Amino acid sequence: STARTALIKQSVRGLLEKKKVEYGDFKLDQFEDPFLASNVKSISLTDSDMSCSEQKAIDLCEGNLSLHVYQLHEDGPGQEELDEEEMSAASHWLLPSSDFDGLWDNLVFDEDIKGRLLNYATTTMLFSDKKVDSNVISWNRVVLLHGMYVYLIYNVTLFGYETMIKCN
């Protein structure tokens, strides 16, 4: 979409105010508004602080909704090859990638691993934003996750509710 982010946010806020209240997390991908239908693929509201058993009614007219507009990259992985060999050394994706869209929501664990990962990523970003001296407070800047892809960067918030708006 080539629509301005401010116009998309304004239209989404209008839609959410019409809905007034929603119970727990939700996702919308059908829109009556022609502007939203032509410029937005989906709208999802997530609250990473609530477990499934704690979900409650969410007032969509409140001012504490953070709207994040983004566009998925459709390019797929780029390959890094070893010198003079056709063997792939690494694959890399431009984020947010359509290849990872929806994976995070479908990961289910017995423990609160997703919550802990989000807290770790949030803390790491906070340390970086505050320019914490790594000689005074040290933390591991690498998270190794074996057997799964994790798509965190566009789903991290510090406080409140988060609404993700995926553009066409």
Per-residue pLDDT tens for 125-164? 888 889 888 788 777 766 666 554 443 333 333 333 444 5
DSSP state of 121: H
Backbone torsions φ then ψ of 47, nearest 5 degrees: -130, 100
User: Which pairing describes strands 65-71 and 161-167: parallel, antiparallel, or unpaired?
Assistant: parallel
Low-confidence spans in the chain with pLDDT less than 70: 1, 47-55, 63, 141-168
Number of domains in the chain: 1
Task: Say how far apart CA 69 and CA 82 lie, in whole Å.
Answer: 37
Task: Say how far apart CA 36 and CA 56 lie, in whole Å.
Answer: 27
The pTM assigned to this predicted structure is 0.64
Which residues span the domain enclosing 80? 5-167
